[in-house]
Amino acid sequence: MALSDVLGRVEADAEKALETLKEYCRFPTISAHKRAQPETAAFVRRLLAENGFEAREYPTEGGPNVVFGQMIVDERKPTLMMYQHYDVQPVDPLNEWKHDPFDPTIQDGKFWGRGCGDTKGNLIMQLLAVQAWRAVEGRPPINLKFVVEGEEEVGSPHFASFVHANKEILKADGATIEGGDHLHEGTPKIELGCKGILYVEMVSRTASVDQHSSYAAIAPNPAWRLMHALMTLRDAKGRIKIPGWYEDARRPTARELRFLKSSVFSSQALKGFWGVKEFIGGDNDFELLKHLIYSPTCTICGFVSGYIEQGTKTVNPAVAKAKIDFRLVPNMKQEKQLAKLREHLKAKGFGDIELLPAAEKLESAAISLSARVVKAAIKGSVDAYSREPEVWPWSIGASAHGFFNEVVGVPSISGPGVSYDGSNFHAPNENIRLTDFVGGTKHMAAMFAHL
């Protein structure tokens, strides 16, 4: 009975919450430019306090403050942790925006503004869910915690040390990371973890200076050398040839596949967006989705060497560089895979190629379908949308899950959330649909009741 009143309350108060979201989105919190971080952190702390949370800011060594808030209603009840970030991506190219990115606007059933989907809208949605419970029942049915950092969009360089130093306060029975998407037709989606990423620069240097290319008959060429090394990493079908690469990779379970079978994933739509004729692995949508989620990848993100400007320049370059990203599925860890890559190159005679791993620390992580936080999110979806959500075993991108379900030991999922597949994250015209904002809030409020 109470839950339907709470969901009704969400509907009634959504407009007011969207006004708060406008205020929040007016802060130009671009972490890449270190903009507006202190005032945004203070705004988030105040918002939490106004909504009944004990809230404070934690300084980080050399980074912006992390905001932490908690509402303990009853020590015997379960606790849900919600992770968010208050920073956003840069807004260039500015001339492609239909509205000022930092002067949010509601138009055509959508809320437009930088950060509304990624991820300021999710914090406001979660607070609206809390408000609705407080209005109807005096308090939410479970204990709640928030942790909101200010550097996610630049790879969370100071968040790991915060987590390691504050494991105790981050303890909970389940966590949600940022928010979740909706598919185009409105089905909500949750993900039970994320892939990790190993990003390395590979450098081949065969001389200290460039040479006239007439010496190429006897002088080594670093571009050829690097290409030969790269050819040993992957075959034409995308299969990675480094020995033992797949050893730790988690395999699909029958239950996971049952959820994926009912997915409305469409490869045709993606082909249309990108102008791609054919995907690797055929054209059966289920097989492609399985491949997309369960396959580790090895991608040449960029390759440079020698002369590529106008006209000709006959040069034998001294150096060639490639940037490679390896997406790792759960159970594959950066350090171990990096050691396998090193070993492989040495064994193939490419020990001279320098490997420079990036500082990215986002590891793969995923939990099982039977975790209570997953069950709560699925039941909440039935209350809010009258249907089960689309459930992916993990997201294909990297995210903060590892900090929670591996460092602190809190099972985490992505979702419920306010965005959809047309939200334009990191791009011009970021937007969310108002129906997804209301739906996501109801989903969250109902999930509280099921944890």
The residues that touch Zn ion, with contacts defined as CB under 5 A, are 118
Dig out the tokens for 220 from the structure: 């080594």
The distance of closest approach from Cβ of residue 115 to Zn ion in the complex, given in angstroms and rounded to an integer, is 9
Give the residue with the Cβ less far from Zn ion, 256 or 436.
Answer: 436
The distance of closest approach from Cβ of residue 118 to Zn ion in the complex, given in angstroms and rounded to an integer, is 4
- Residue 175's contacts (CB-CB under 8 Å, 6 or more residues apart) are 80, 81, 82, 83, 373, 404, 405, 410, 411, 412, 413
Between CA 121 and CA 24 the distance in angstroms is: 9
User: By Cβ distance, which residue is nearest to Zn ion?
Assistant: 118
Give the residue with the Cβ less far from Zn ion, 114 or 333.
Answer: 114
Between CA 127 and CA 136 the distance in angstroms is: 14
Give the residue with the Cβ less far from Zn ion, 118 or 436.
Answer: 118
- List the strands of the sheet with 143-149, edge to edge: 54-60, 63-71, 143-149, 79-85, 174-177, 412-413
DSSP designation for 214: G
Displacement of CA 441 from its chain's centroid (Å)? 20
The distance of closest approach from Cβ of residue 241 to Zn ion in the complex, given in angstroms and rounded to an integer, is 32
The distance of closest approach from Cβ of residue 167 to Zn ion in the complex, given in angstroms and rounded to an integer, is 25
Dig out the tokens for 123 from the structure: 């914090």
Give the residue with the Cβ less far from Zn ion, 134 or 426.
Answer: 426
Q: Is the CB of residue 85 less than 8 Å from the CB of residue 165?
A: no
Give the residue with the Cβ less far from Zn ion, 156 or 206.
Answer: 156
**What are the CA-CA distances from residue 53 to residues 47, 139, 208 (Å)?**
9, 11, 61
Give the residue with the Cβ less far from Zn ion, 118 or 363.
Answer: 118
The distance of closest approach from Cβ of residue 23 to Zn ion in the complex, given in angstroms and rounded to an integer, is 20
Q: Which helix (H) or strand (E) covers residue 274, if one does? A: helix 267-274
The distance of closest approach from Cβ of residue 423 to Zn ion in the complex, given in angstroms and rounded to an integer, is 11
